[in-house]
Amino acid sequence: MALTENHLEVSRQLVQVAEKELEKGNLELAAEKAAAAVDHRLTTIAQQRGWQYGWHKHHSENLYRLAEEVKQPKELKLMFAVAGNLRFSLYNELKPVEFMRTEIDCVKTLLALLEEVDWDYRQLDDKDDS
The reply to whether the predicted model has a pTM over 0.75 is: yes
- Measure the CA–CA gap between 44 and 7, rounded to whole angstroms: 6
First to last CA, the chain: 19
Q: Could you tell me the domains of the chain?
A: 2-129 (1.20.120.330)
Q: Which residues contact 32 (CB under 8 A, 6 or more apart)?
A: 18, 90
All residue ranges of the chain with pLDDT < 50 are 1
- Measure the CA–CA gap between 7 and 47, rounded to whole angstroms: 10
Predicted confidence at residue 3, as pLDDT, reads 53
Whether the CB-CB separation of 36 and 17 falls below 8 Å is answered with no
Predicted confidence at residue 1, as pLDDT, reads 44
